[in-house]
Each structure stands twice: as C-alpha cells, then as structure tokens.
A and B are shown apart, each in its own frame.
Chain A
Amino acid sequence: MKYAYFPGCSLSSTGIEYEMSTQETAKALGMELWEIPEWNCCGASSAHLTDHLLALALPARNMAIAEEAGLDVVIPCAACYARCKAVELAVTESKEMKASIEEIIERKYEGKSKARALLDILANDIERAAIKEKVSHNLKGLKAACYYGCLLVRPQATGFDDLEDPQSMDRLLHNLGAETVDWAFKTECCGASHPTTKSEVGLKMMDRILAAAKEAGANCIVAACPLCLNNLDMRQGQAEKEYNQKYDLPVFYFTELTGLAFGVDPTKLGLNKHFVDAMGMVNQVLKADSRRGTA
C-alpha cells in the first residue's frame, strides 16, 4: 500500500502528535507514505474566502504532483482533506474548470489521483480482521466520544460517512477494544477560530461539545482534525474556567489510539504532549490490559 502523503501545515506544528502517530500507525500497518515533494498550503479557509479559483488551484497543484506519481493522496487533516476532495470533484465534474485550473498550476490534473481521508482508509479500506490482528494492547476501559467535526463528512459530496451520525471512527475504535458512546454532537462545529477571535462565541460552542460528551458518559474524546483537537484540548481549561465546570476529558487523535493499541510507545505517538493530561488514562488502560494478559 503506497500513498502520496499530504501532511498540511498543522501536522508539523500544533498537530505534531497527529504527524507522529500517523507515521507510526502507517508503519505498523505497512502503509508506505510518500510525502508530496515541495507541497504547498491547501488554502484552507483563507483561500476559500478570497477567491474560488484560488481555493481550487492551491490543492490542485499538490494533487497533480501525486497524479504524476500515480498515487492516491492520504490526508490526516480534515480541512486539507475537504479542500483536496473539492478540487478532485471540481475537475471531474467540469471540463472548463479542469482547463482553467490546469492553466494556473501549469500541470495536468485529471482527478485520477483521489483525495482520501486517513480515517476513511483505516476504518473502511483496511479489513477489520487486519486491524484486530495488529492489536496487542486492548483499549478496554476507554469510553470514547467520537468527534468527527464539521468537515470530514460534510458536505455530502466530499464526505464519506453519514452526515448526521457518522460511524467510521466508532467502528475503528471498537476494533481496538474501546467502547464508544452514542451522542448527538459528533459533527457539531468546534468553534474553529472563534475561541481565538471571539472567545465568548467560541468557548460556548466548545463547552457544549464537552458537556455533551460528559453527559453521554464518555471519559475521553477522539478527534480527526488538528484544529478540533487544538480547541478541545488546549482550550478546555479556558472553557472550564469560563463556565465553572470540570470536564477532565483527554482528547486523542484516532491515530494515537490506533498506534497505542498496536503497541507503539506512547511518547513516540506524542501522547505526552497534550494539554489535558492524556498519559494518566493511557497508563491506566495499558496497566489494565497487561493485568488481563497475565491473569
């Protein structure tokens, strides 16, 4: 399994744990990740707000390089994924759009190279048995609120799962031995940049997600987007303070938990880099697993 790999900007900065755990998980599964040489920014919401063509041309260049190499592109970040998928659909749906994009990027891109979310591959491409076979540490004891965020499954054209009640991540975590809770905030907005720019709006949005996860009986949240994790993890303390709550909900990337279940050292997955302590729960789960193993 060889894929072109588009890490995007977050994975070398705020989302470094996502990068580390993606690499480790891929290695364990025998996925070869070929990082797209000299990749550029996906454009994210800035390009999207500035100019429609620019927003398509930016990811198109990365996709074109992958297409030249004959590879599909695997993308961990939800926003990068949404942008890359959007251009893949744009060039397959309209010849005119394809022509104008190709003119701008001075390369051919026919939409043959597909944009794939890493979660989609792990949950839907790889056989259940293949995942289970790799699990050396059962994650029993985790009661996860799977949090997909807004961009992974929406809009319908770019998404790969149910719009209102997605299940991919839940399935993956079940295969790792974790429990997941049924809750209604799987695709709710995390507040995106609002916690930074308008904290009274952004913190409120985050607080609702944290409260709903807690109420559903979860002991942790699992995310698939660096910005979602950033908000829910780094700013959880701010929300707690603002609304006088105590959540103590570690927030994981699904790749961290996959790596953990596969037996990768927690520090190699970046699990020691979280703001809300994650190592406590990790050690608890590992200890419980080893006890089951010796019993």
Chain B
Amino acid sequence: MKRVGVFVCHCGTNIAGVVDCAKVAEVAKDFPGVEYSVDYKYMCSEPGQEMIKKAIKDNRLDRVVVASCSPRMHETTFRKCVEGGGLNAYFVEMANIREHCSWVHMNEKEKATEKAIDLVKMAVAKVIKNAPLQKATIPVTDRALVIGGGIAGIQAAIDIANAGHIVDIVERDPSIGGKMAQIDKTFPTLDCSACILTPKMVEASSHPNINLITYSEIEKVEGFVGNFNVTIRKKARSVNMDVCTGCGVCMEKCPSKVDSEFELAMSKRRAIYTPFPQAIPNKPVIDRVNCTYFKTGKCGICQKVCMAGAVDYSQEDKFVVTRYGAIVVATGFELFDYSVYGEYGYGKYPDVITGLQFERLVNASGPTMGKIKRPSDHKEPKNVVFIKCVGSRDVAKGKSYCSKACCMYTAKHATLVSEKIKDSNVYIFYMDVRTAGKGYDEFYNRTREQYEANYIRGRVSKIYQKGDKLIVRGEDTLISRPVEVEADLVVLATAMVAQPDAAKLAQKIGIGYDKDDLYTEAHPKLAPVETHTQGVYLAGACQGPKDIPESVAQGSAAAAKVCGLLSKSEMLTEPIVSEVDERACAGCEMCVPICPYTAIEMKTISERVHGKMLERKVASVNSGLCQGCGACTVTCRSAAINLKHFTDEQILAEVNALCL
C-alpha cells in the first residue's frame, strides 16, 4: 500500500479567502492511501518545503499531493522538493485549487471547498499510480541563431558571441540595423541614434564568433531544443559578396529609381542599392522587381561599370540547412497603417506624416539633410501638430494596447521642432501622457516648460486641407472647448504592431502569438524572454511594444538564457513522453501524421511467431522531439501508445475517484 501525504496551501488569501483549506486537509485524511494531511499558509516557501520533506521522513511517505496553484507555476519547485526528501521527482502530483478553483469561484465559497476536495481526491488517486521516471540527456549543438538584425538581435548576438559561442544573425533586409537605424535622436538624452547604433553594427559584423546572413529569411525550422535544424533561404543578391568592393559606382549609374523603403518613400533609391550609406554589409543588392534588366532583359549597366565583376544576374536563391542549439527571435515591429482613419484623411494629405517619417526629416542624413521641410511644398513648417495614440488604445480601429514609446518620442519630436525652427509652435493632442522610466518624466516636463509645447488633452476629430494649411479640429477636454489649429505639418504617433508575417514565422518555429500577432512569452512575469518551446527565446518589440533601452535589455536577457543552455554539451530532457507498446501496435500509422512535432516514425521489428521469424512495422517515438502533448495516444486505435505520467491507468484512476 502506498503512503500518500497531502499538503494544502493557502497561498495567503488567494486560496484560503475562498476555500476552507483546513477542511480540505481534514477530509483528505480519509482518502484511501492518505497517511498524513496538513494545510499551511505558503507551501512553496522555504518552511513549507521543509514541512513536506520532514513529513516524508517522519511518516515514511512515498507519494505527495500538493494542493495549491497551477503546475505551470510550481510543479518544478515541488518536484525538486520531494526529490530532496528522497523520492522520485514524479511522485508528486499537484491539485490546482487556485486558478481552477478559488480564483474562478470566488463568490461560491462552499461549492469551491467541495470542488477543492474533489480535485485533491483525484490527485491522490493518480499519484498512487505514478511510476518513477528518469530524465535522459541529449546533446546540445553549440551554435545560436538570432532571427532579426535590429538592435535587440544585435545585442543578443554580441552577448552570446562574447561568451564564446558561435552566432548567426539572419536578417531579411540587405543590411542589419533595423528601425533604430532610421531614428534620428534617442530619448531622454538626445544622443544621436546612428552614433550609438553603428558601432554595435560594426562590432557584430567584425566579431569572430558572429556570422551575418543578410537578405535571407527563415524557410523551415525542424528539430528540438539543443538540435534545431533550420533551413535558411539566402535570397539572390545578384551581387557576388566575395568580389564586391562596395565602391558604389553601380548605384550611381543605375537608371531606375524607386521609392526608398528606408526613407519611407520620401526620397528615391536605385534598383541596385544599399538601404543607407552606413549599411552593413555595405554591399548592394539588386531589387529584381524594379530592375530594368530583370524586367526587360535590356540595360546591364551595373554589370558593365563594375570594375570587380561582382554583378551576377544568374544568381538564384540558395537554401542552407544549419543546426543550432538555441534560437533568439528578434523580428521587431512594423508601424500601424493609419489610412483607416478617415478623420485624418485616409492617408491622402501629403503633410500628414508618421513619427518615423518625421525622424527621417530631422535626420542629418535624411532626404532633407536634417532641415524640417514638409513633403508637399518643401516649406519649413511653423505650426506643427502631433497626434498621439493613432492606432494605439483604440479598440474600434486599431489596437487595444498602449504602444508605450510614443509619449516619449513625441516629446522628443516637439523639442526638435522648437530647436530647429525659430518661432515655431507645437501642439500635441494626447489621451494620457505616460512617461514612466528613468529620466523620462523630467524630459516630458522640460518639453512642456522649457520648450513650451502645447499639450492639449483630447482627440482630433477631423483634419482637412484649407489652402496650404491643414486645419486640425479637436476638443480640449480639460476645458470642454473645441479647438482648431491651423497646422503646416501633422505628425501621427502611429502604433507599433507586429510584422505582417509574424504569425507565419511563429508557425514555422512553433511558438505562440496573441490576438495581435505579438509573440507570447512563457510567463509574463517570471519567464519574459522564454517561449513555451524550449530553446526558443524572444527579444525586442516582436513580443510587445518596446523602446530602445528595453529592447537592448531584453536582447541581453535572451542572450543570458542562450548562454545557459549552450554552456553544457548535454542537457536533461523531460521524461514525460509517449511510449509504444510494440506488442499491441498494429502498425496502422494513424499516429504519424497527427504528431505536431514529427516525433513518430515507423520502424521494422522482427519477432518469432509459431517458430517462424516475421517482420512487421510498428510506431516508434523519438523522445527528443516528443513534447508530451498526448495527441497520439487518443488517435491510437489499439491503445498501444501511452503518455508517461499521463497513462490511461492514471487518468482512469482520477476519473474513478471523481465519479465512482
């Protein structure tokens, strides 16, 4: 007979405020197999864990049930605890009486207590059937992949590389640098963005442990933690990187001009181009959609002028497969398309621009050489209106969340207007000013007091063109009066949103994403850079809106996680995986396509039947790939597959405990 100990946690008042924990402990004493039962304020605390270990020893317990929070929260804690008490780590079972009980039944205390008792009863029945499980080891490939070469990805790569691991950065644009390369100044110190970013870009490109794989995208991700097999599509650059000297003559001579993505269509680039002069690598690519040679078969000027003979029209996309131990996803953000806002003119007024366009207008290397000139007539604006929360905090037309960085960058833009344009007037329409952060609120106050920016609390209801002015109408809700501003330029603080193909990439890698396609962290507080897929980490705005300091911090945090994983040549694996009873397996192959991790393959076994050797096919589970989801077990018609720790016998014991 097994000897079970039951430990009921109050979780402060989280559980005890609703569930009568003492009663649960008392009733549990009479469950079959229970030798010891007790309740305590914080089971996860040091004294709580000691209490469990002591009870194991004193009462010769060989199974433990902890009735507390979700196993997501503390299963590892209590597994370690019972292991410390001398038991197999899998001889502990958790009854979730917090998330599944007290939190959702806060107004029905008695019924909640009844439910808690049932949950404990089930856990006791299961733990009796639990078998000892042992962790296995798998090899870890000492190489990391960083997807995205913006500031978060660059930071993560440098930190991983400095720890002595090899890192590949895959960037889909021709150059690394990301959005930060487009920004002029950074808040709250107003130091030049390029001056702090470009050294990092150079460091990344010259680091002996870092390989830049630019103009490339992720095609396929297979494998599992420690052993990801990633297929990378290297898009055809049409320029031989080994030969090109980066002299730039081809770009000067190229006759086809198209809108520059980097300058947000405010100036032109050539069809053979680098996105910006400080690009890394500083070697051009040919944009085949707009190249005359690729469109008509005629031209070929770039090839003729290239002294090094680097231009190669015959290049094709290449696919390379590399094995990585860990992946950092740092794919960044895009800006919300504000053309859904009819009140701001559906994008038809040339002098209504986005904050990022404004960054290019004030940037010394931008299309106006840093002189603020409005797009329509290149005149210097006197009255500049900023509108915050365009697409943020708007459930009707945009996103429900706050984009976080806009309050600060709008304050920064306001100071830049005041500094660069004499006699200028700045008007900022806002919903709330949210400038939490070191030195941030001081910056905002300076913008208001020293730079005399007019902050108007209210939304803009309409912008319309009147002559060469834009009339901005809104309400000042602090004095309940309509306001009308004759503006020369309107700058919209558009929301930060996920990349348009964020969901597709998440599906390739096998990580979660939310309703806005932002990547989901494993735990919002305690595992902010981890994902639910082991070995895959997040950095930067792909997880949610972030400013530069936060993106850098998260890049370093993700790097620390990667270094921890890569620091050992082997890692322990979770033993909760499926196993096949080869005697019962009929070889129907139903389980193979159902497995989301491609962990099941068919293998041939030979066996002796009536004195003859026969061969037949049976399913076989790759325990490295199996994530223990259990999809195969319910598909198996002959009940030949069982998920360890969740066997049919264990589940039925729970059902029986509840229903019989």
Contact = CB atoms under 8 A, between A and B. Distances in A.
Interface in A196-231: 212, 215
Contact of B346 (A164, A212, A215): A164
Contacts of A163: 342
A184 B342 contact: no
B351 to A, nearest CB: 14
Interface string A179-190: 000011100000
Interface stretch (B61-69, B183-191, B238-246, B460-468): B460-468
In this complex, the interface size class of chain A, counting residues with CB under 8 Å from chain B, is: under 10
A215 B342 contact: no
Which label, helix, strand, loop or mixed, suits the secondary structure of the A interface? loop
Contact of B342 (A162, A183, A212): A162
Contacts of B465: 184
A231 B561 CA distance: 70
A165 B464 CA distance: 12
A283 B466 CA distance: 32
A164 B346 CA distance: 9
Nearest to B396: A156
A215 B466 CA distance: 8
A184 B346 contact: no
Nearest to B471: A184
B343 interface: yes
Nearest to B345: A184
Interface residues of B, number: 9
Contacts of A185: 464
Interface in A108-167: 162-165
Which label, helix, strand, loop or mixed, suits the secondary structure of the B interface? mixed
Contacts of A164: 342-343, 346, 462
A165 B346 contact: yes
Contact of B462 (A183, A184, A215): A184
Contacts of B342: 162-165
Interface string B462-489: 1011110000000000000000000000
Interface centre among A183, A184, A215 (most CB of B within 10 A): A184
Contacts of A212: 464, 466
Nearest to A183: B464
Contacts of B466: 212, 215
A289 B120 CA distance: 89
A216 to B, nearest CB: 9
Nearest to A166: B342
Contacts of A183: 464
A184 B472 CA distance: 12
Interface centre among A162, A165, A185 (most CB of B within 10 A): A165
A148 to B, nearest CB: 13
B35 to A, nearest CB: 57
Contacts of B343: 164
A162 B345 CA distance: 12
A212 B473 CA distance: 15
A90 to B, nearest CB: 21
B23 to A, nearest CB: 42
B303 to A, nearest CB: 46
Contacts of B464: 183-185, 212
Interface in B407-463: 462
Contacts of B346: 164-165
Contacts of A162: 342
Nearest to A163: B342
A25 B602 CA distance: 75
B345 to A, nearest CB: 8
A136 B166 CA distance: 78
Interface in B338-358: 342-343, 345-346
A185 B462 CA distance: 10
B340 to A, nearest CB: 10
A215 B464 CA distance: 12
A215 B346 CA distance: 21
A292 to B, nearest CB: 33
B512 to A, nearest CB: 33
Interface centre among A162, A163, A164, A165 (most CB of B within 10 A): A164
A164 B473 CA distance: 14
B461 to A, nearest CB: 10
A163 B467 CA distance: 24
Nearest to B464: A184
A244 to B, nearest CB: 19
A266 B342 CA distance: 37
A184 B343 CA distance: 9
A184 B473 CA distance: 12
A30 B465 CA distance: 42
Nearest to B343: A164
A288 B356 CA distance: 51
B423 to A, nearest CB: 27
18 contacts: A162-B342, A163-B342, A164-B342, A164-B343, A164-B346, A164-B462, A165-B342, A165-B346, A183-B464, A184-B345, A184-B462, A184-B464, A184-B465, A185-B464, A212-B464, A212-B466, A215-B466, A215-B467
Given A164-B346, A164-B462, A215-B467, 15 more contacts: A162-B342, A163-B342, A164-B342, A164-B343, A165-B342, A165-B346, A183-B464, A184-B345, A184-B462, A184-B464, A184-B465, A185-B464, A212-B464, A212-B466, A215-B466
**In the A-B complex, the 8 residue pairs with the closest CB atoms:** A164-B342, A184-B464, A165-B342, A164-B343, A163-B342, A162-B342, A165-B346, A215-B466
